[in-house]
Structure 1
């Protein structure tokens, strides 16, 4: 028994730590640590249960810290042992942060960070599979985890028994510009829906934005709060049940102090809490690189934004929130991103990104792939997902408007059950 193993709500949690190469093509660059947590039922006597590996969304976020026997994990544990992988650079794996990279030169930071994309996340999973002496295992990818799943299907298809994907089927060939053209349109549609439900919120937003243009306000970490940062809370519109909480935030954001308007501390604290780029810098610095194969992003979202002028707020004009986009000014303004600014520029200009997908392999796919594709997804465009799925035999899609991008978190037991059933049907036709 592992000394750090514990149980909760009938589930056994077993930690595993692995020393893996930073660069699988050059082991002289040293090793990093990758952490994964195994979940199994305490009552389970079947030592031969197959494995299901979970790939988290992001990039740059650790695996879920499961709390209770519920959600998609509950359904998975009926027939699998689950492995929650802290992707390299996150969670209990060797973490990427300005604290850990600040001592390096910008060039060294950038070179180090190039090894933290989906291809090496998948190589880490393969390393672990071999350590466990597992023949084949199933994978579940949420959002960016779905991108990792297609990379896995491209690189090591013979290692997989099933692939389940939720809200994460990427283009395997398009430029990042195409992705952001689509997501800016989706983001505008979410804005319109929000302001239609809460018409009074438009005036509230303009009042807050104009106040920020005319006054200095600081977040609890000492960072000056700007209109552009305020716009970024619109990222929450991509998940369910966020319109009303956003309205509540807006309606009492400003208070009067001795005749002068100020932003309330509670509001400013919540604005900081919503800046996940601060605690998960990979989410910012490698975000656009997840689309790059042999070309540079050159700050794609920033460039595309210029053709959607409504998102560039000016006093007296309508206010619109932005979504899941990364902009160069973030590395000038965000406290935890400032030490990575030069590295971010180097990575934005990097052209020789390695391929993440093997088109030929995916076109000959033999692994049952089951996908939940969300029709109104603000982060992963449905039409682009369908374009990719059309190229992959044995990939089946459940296209639904019942859920937002966070469907797996909102109703994971039902969603995974449906995907498993779809996978069994596909496998039966292949038998």
Structure 2
């Protein structure tokens, strides 16, 4: 098959697969799942003969990376693999989910449709694709953040398809509830707030001025929504990323401008603000994020309920302003334009107590597939103690615990991180 895309140092092919929405009803409704195959342009080897490494993106609800060149973790991977970038169902070019694509369903049917977009069906898709692309052959898998949840689900459900596995910034708890997860992550968000406001000494003054302005004036962001203090707090999802605190601080710096007609919010701020939040463009994240922790239980808007125990996050004049983190709240579906039509479906998903069990502890304890994981001790999104707890529960898992990186370390230093994990998995010395 001829590559459709040529980039600096690599070529790419497109693949589209027609797969069941519901694997319990294989003759029923179908969806399209897209994957991009990357090949090295190294003239000394035949890339077509190399085994596959499948990448599971973070999220849920985000498409795979669109590479511009042969760099980062992809560069390391292409030295021995063909890389398959999978747009998980509902994202990118894989029958994307949006309020428009769901508009012909009532709320109950929307929720039923969306219930098929968790990690269990992402893995069923991957196995169906493996049987078409390389039947009878095992492949390697790499998961970042939520992609790590997918890796463990793969090892739980279909280890016979996997030769070796890698996880970066995404070892989930196998047993803990959403409430327990948020109890831990709110503590981590508080720590990141302390770090942020210590590093940038005038940031508290800047953000308080913005919050007070928003309290007394109606301000609308570039996508049309009224900018509220609660919405402003959501910028905190970025302070747990490499270079994220800097992006947030520089945004705050030019938020307010003085004109002859008084103080106004800078239009540049309003435009850039939208670029730092993905809730309008990636609805699966808001709809299903809490469900990734649910096994025979409902989340019941866990992040909102647990937040009630942390009064620090409820901004009032005279109190320090704090950012929130990777939390989803029910008011998203009242304030974000593209989420409003999905409000009832979101409530049905949040109250669903019939989510299937994700992990079998005995199966994972007896895992035979070599697994290497990077655990970031300062990760705002994933509680380190829970990751270490899981590492003890999964057989044949080796980990590298480091404080060098934030949650998105693979995006910043992916070539080194993947190289180290491959060496760790194979018992080799790091090159």
TM-score normalised by length of structure 2: 0.96
Residues 207-218 of structure 1 mapped to structure 2, 5 A cutoff: 207-218=209-220
Whether 2:112 is the aligned partner of 1:111: answer: yes
Q: Is the 8 A contact 2:47 2:81 kept in 1?
A: no
Q: Which of 331, 340, 343 is 1:341 aligned to?
A: 343
Q: Any stretches of 5+ residues in structure 2 without a counterpart?
A: none
Residues 1-400 of structure 1 mapped to structure 2, 5 A cutoff: 1-2=1-2, 5-42=4-41, 43=43, 44-45=45-46, 47-132=48-133, 133-400=135-402
Q: Secondary structure of 2:239's match?
A: helix
Q: Secondary structure of 2:393's match?
A: coil
Of 282-291 and 255-264, the range deviating more from structure 2: 255-264
Alignment coverage as a number of residue pairs: 425
- 1:243 Cα deviation after fit: 2.2
1:357-392 per-position Cα deviation (integer Å, ceiling 9, x unaligned): 121110101110000000000001111000001111
RMSD: 1.2
Give, in whole Å, the separation in 1 of the partners of 2:293 and 2:69. 35
- 1:356 Cα deviation after fit: 1.4
- 1:41 Cα deviation after fit: 1.5
Q: Which of 417, 423, 426 is 1:424 aligned to?
A: 426
- 1:29 Cα deviation after fit: 3.1
Give, in whole Å, the separation in 1 of the partners of 2:72 and 2:23. 35
Give, in whole Å, the separation in 2 of the partners of 1:291 and 1:391. 17
- 1:134 Cα deviation after fit: 4.2
Give, in whole Å, the separation in 2 of the partners of 1:331 and 1:360. 39
- 1:219 Cα deviation after fit: 1.0
Of 290-299 and 251-260, the range deviating more from structure 2: 251-260
Q: Secondary structure of 1:332's match?
A: helix
- 1:116 Cα deviation after fit: 0.5
- 1:150 Cα deviation after fit: 0.3
Q: Secondary structure of 1:271's match?
A: helix
- 1:244 Cα deviation after fit: 2.6
Give, in whole Å, the separation in 2 of the partners of 1:178 and 1:170. 12
Please name the residue that 1:429 is paired with. none
Q: Secondary structure of 2:215's match?
A: helix
Q: Secondary structure of 1:276's match?
A: coil
Give, in whole Å, the separation in 2 of the partners of 1:29 and 1:327. 33
Give, in whole Å, the separation in 1 of the partners of 2:224 and 2:279. 16
1:254-307 per-position Cα deviation (integer Å, ceiling 9, x unaligned): 122334321111111111222201111101110000001100000000001110
- 1:113 Cα deviation after fit: 0.2
- 1:418 Cα deviation after fit: 0.6
- 1:46 Cα deviation after fit: 5.3
Give, in whole Å, the separation in 1 of the partners of 2:67 and 2:360. 33
- 1:28 Cα deviation after fit: 4.1
Give, in whole Å, the separation in 2 of the partners of 1:46 and 1:211. 57
Q: Any stretches of 5+ residues in structure 1 without a counterpart?
A: 427-431
Q: Secondary structure of 1:15's match?
A: strand
Q: Secondary structure of 1:387's match?
A: helix
